A and B are shown apart, each in its own frame.
Chain A
Amino acid sequence: MAFASALKCRECGREYPTDPLNVCEFCFGPLEVVYDYEAISRVVSRERILNGPLTMWRYQDLLPVDGDNAVDLQTGFTPLMKAPNLGRMLGLDHLYIKNDAVNPTNSFKDRVVSVASTKALEYEFKTLACASTGNLAGSVAAHAARAGMTAYIFIPADLEKGKVIGAAIYGPTVVAINGSYDDVNRLCSELADTYPWAFVNINMRPYYAEGSKTLGYEVAEQLGWQAPAHCIVPSASGSMFTKIWKGFKEFEDLELIPKVHTHMHMTQAAGCAPIAEAYEAGVTRVRPVKPDTVAKSLAIGNPADGYYSLKTIQESDGDATIVPEEEVVTGIQMLAETEGIFTETAGGVVISGLKRLVERGAIKRDEVTVAYITGNGLKTLEAVEHTVKPVTIDPTTASFEAEVLSA
């Protein structure tokens, strides 16, 4: 049973029924799910959560769908690992890695798509769709397969082969679009208005976005029912950043955890940092940019939740860090070499951003700090290809000793 009671415009406050809608008809503001928290507080408890499945669906009372019918690939409840080696290197005694790269399609997108596809089935849509440069494509295709839905995946024509295969293997119709990034955006928005499909991040967006709250719930539960002092998060649209914070605040309001004092630290790569640039300039209007970054999964030039992310920074007394492009790969290497976790470029942005935060004194040695690793390194091999050089030898001991041991 779901406790979502309405959709509400974040700008003008008008309410709508829980339909497949994403913008306010009057002011075009984004819609957000409203819950009956009174009813939730009567049923939810730590014990009920602890008795739930070891997936994101243990928090189904706080998600806008009926969890009993979830399109479920066993997403979530991913490891929160202590990171002593990286912590020592950076000077942090309580550093944790939230390893969301181990989700079914290897990124946190399974959380949002699991909710969106469940909602799509509730509405009796037959088709699931998205426009993607990688992570979202794989997740939507996999969930559609699991749910027995038809899938359309729209991609830019120049997308790397590995990412195309990672989505195509699940059997969707993959449509490569010849045209600029702007053209792909425009076409998909038009299609979403034309066809009776569930576009996960367009007409399903209010529900979809709620899936990221589970990244807040899980970390709070895994830390022994408390929110950390610091979260370091990679942002594209900014949605996940705002929802992790919302997750902590809901848990606080429901008295599942004590008062939240978390500082939310956003990280973006220099080649696409519209939200962090607005933060640095001290303005609330996010100026769109043309993305040009090695962190392809974070390349959203006109972020839907830019303004709300800046509000989250303000409310949580957090900040935003711009990571230079050349430090993205360094961050990937740092995490792999210290903790044995291979992340994609978004994780490289987080780790290098974390290093900068510690260096500038924003995080103290004894504070509980969580770095969110949201995608798997095998997704962006081309970004690190140039950094690895195996040694080649002849099949003799002499060659091994000469080329390897004495090198």
Chain B
Amino acid sequence: MAKLRVRFTFTPELVQEPIIWQLGQKFSIVTNIRGADVREAFGWALLELEGDAEQINQGIDWVRSTGIEVQLVTGDVIE
């Protein structure tokens, strides 16, 4: 089991899509929302993803493919 904390940033076209719910369904990931601000123009959500590491990786690739930006909440760790 792996855990990853991420921030999703949505553009207006995507605000209405149930992406987080789909992410959980398609990849058997537990999506725990810790904070969010979704408005008409844009939105963001802070999430903890828990599940099989490979499923999380594929899930994130899928989320990115929808046009949502995905970043680690801790920022980049390669220094």
Please determine whether A302 and B79 come into contact, CB atoms closer than 8 angstroms.
no
B77 interface contact, C-beta 8 A: yes
Contacting residue for B78 out of A22, A26, A132, CB 8 A: A132
Please determine whether B3 and A193 come into contact, CB atoms closer than 8 angstroms.
yes
* A236–B79 CA distance with the chains assembled, in angstroms: 8
Please determine whether A303 and B76 come into contact, CB atoms closer than 8 angstroms.
yes
CB-contacts of A16-49 with B (<8 A): 22-23, 26-28, 30
Please determine whether B79 and A132 come into contact, CB atoms closer than 8 angstroms.
yes
Contacting residue for A189 out of B35, B46, B69, B74, CB 8 A: B74
* A135–B46 CA distance with the chains assembled, in angstroms: 31
**A101 CB to nearest B CB, Å:** 17
* A190–B56 CA distance with the chains assembled, in angstroms: 10
Which of A81-89, A165-173, A178-186, A220-228 contacts the other chain? A178-186
CB-based nearest B residue for A297: B79
CB-based nearest A residue for B1: A194
Please determine whether A186 and B79 come into contact, CB atoms closer than 8 angstroms.
no
* A326–B25 CA distance with the chains assembled, in angstroms: 49
CB-contacts of B1-57 with A (<8 A): 2-5, 34-35, 46, 53, 56-57
- Residues of chain A lying within 8 A (CB to CB) of residue B76: 181, 185, 237, 300-304
- Residues of chain B lying within 8 A (CB to CB) of residue A301: 76
What size tier do the contact residues of chain B reach?
20 to 34
**A399 CB to nearest B CB, Å:** 49
Q: Which of B4, B34, B35, B78 has the largest count of A CB atoms less than 10 A from its CB?
A: B78
**A209 CB to nearest B CB, Å:** 11
- Residues of chain A lying within 8 A (CB to CB) of residue B72: 185-186, 189, 302
- Residues of chain B lying within 8 A (CB to CB) of residue A26: 34
CB-contacts of A125-139 with B (<8 A): 130-133, 135-136
Please determine whether A186 and B75 come into contact, CB atoms closer than 8 angstroms.
no
**A372 CB to nearest B CB, Å:** 16
- Residues of chain A lying within 8 A (CB to CB) of residue B46: 27-28
Please determine whether B2 and A201 come into contact, CB atoms closer than 8 angstroms.
no
* A193–B72 CA distance with the chains assembled, in angstroms: 13
**B65 CB to nearest A CB, Å:** 13
CB-based nearest B residue for A155: B78
A188 with B77, Cβ < 8 A, contacts A27-B34, A193-B3, A193-B4 known: yes
CB-contacts of A235-292 with B (<8 A): 236-237, 288
* A30–B35 CA distance with the chains assembled, in angstroms: 15
Please determine whether A130 and B2 come into contact, CB atoms closer than 8 angstroms.
no
* A181–B2 CA distance with the chains assembled, in angstroms: 20
Contacting residue for A23 out of B56, B69, B74, CB 8 A: B74
- Residues of chain B lying within 8 A (CB to CB) of residue A189: 4-5, 72, 74, 77
A305 interface contact, C-beta 8 A: yes
- Residues of chain A lying within 8 A (CB to CB) of residue B75: 237, 300, 302-306
- Residues of chain B lying within 8 A (CB to CB) of residue A188: 77-78
A4 interface contact, C-beta 8 A: no
B66 interface contact, C-beta 8 A: no
- Residues of chain A lying within 8 A (CB to CB) of residue B71: 288, 302
* A8–B2 CA distance with the chains assembled, in angstroms: 25
B68 interface contact, C-beta 8 A: no
Please determine whether A136 and B4 come into contact, CB atoms closer than 8 angstroms.
no
- Residues of chain B lying within 8 A (CB to CB) of residue A306: 75
Please determine whether B5 and A201 come into contact, CB atoms closer than 8 angstroms.
no
A318 interface contact, C-beta 8 A: no
A233 interface contact, C-beta 8 A: no
Contacting residue for B79 out of A30, A156, A181, A237, CB 8 A: A237
Given A181-B76, A302-B72, A304-B76, 11 additional A-B pairs, CB 8 A? A109-B79, A131-B77, A131-B78, A132-B78, A133-B78, A189-B5, A190-B4, A193-B4, A194-B53, A202-B74, A306-B75
Could you jot down 11 A-B contacts, CB within 8 Å? A23-B5, A27-B46, A136-B79, A185-B76, A193-B2, A194-B2, A202-B77, A205-B74, A237-B79, A300-B78, A306-B75
Residues of B bordering A, CB below 8 Å: 2-5, 34-35, 46, 53, 56-57, 60, 69, 71-79
**8 interchain residue pairs of minimum CB distance:** A304-B75, A136-B79, A131-B78, A302-B76, A28-B73, A193-B3, A190-B2, A300-B76
